[in-house]
Amino acid sequence: MSTSITMYSADWCGDCVRSKRLLDSLEVSYELIDVESVPGASEKVIEINGGKRSIPVILFPDGTHLTEPSDIDLKAKLEAL
């Protein structure tokens, strides 16, 4: 099991910027994977989301993920970990 958080993101994505800002403000470390520049990343997002290309997708150490989470949902998930 991974012990880190991974976020699939893109520079042009407003929700991605917002989620990154929240993680940074809470001093949460995470790996950022740019779906535009990392080969296979876009396909992985589609696989995780059951065919949808929605980002950000944030993977957690407990094996769960959130797609396009609100700040409230993301903070609640982080507190639950």
Q: What percent of the chain has pLDDT over 70?
A: 96
Return the closest-CA partner of residue 11 out of 2, 20, 1.
20
Mean pLDDT calculated for residue range 35-64: 97
Count of domains observed in the chain: 1
Are 66 and 16 in contact, with CB atoms under 8 Å apart?
A: no
- Read off the pTM: 0.94
Could you list the residue range(s) of the whole structural domain that residue 24 is in? 5-80
What pLDDT is stored for residue 12 in this prediction? 97
Residue with tokens 């929240």: 22
Residue with tokens 């296979």: 40
> Considering the chain, what is the average pLDDT of its residues?
96
Decide if pLDDT at 23 tops 80: yes
Q: Tell me the pLDDT band of 2, cut-offs 50, 70 and 90.
A: low
Return the closest-CA partner of residue 77 out of 19, 35, 38, 31.
19
Residues contacting residue 12 through CB under 8 Å, at least 6 positions apart = none
CATH number of the structural domain spanning residue 58: 3.40.30.10
The secondary structure of residue 63, as a DSSP letter, is S
Mean pLDDT calculated for residue range 28-47: 97
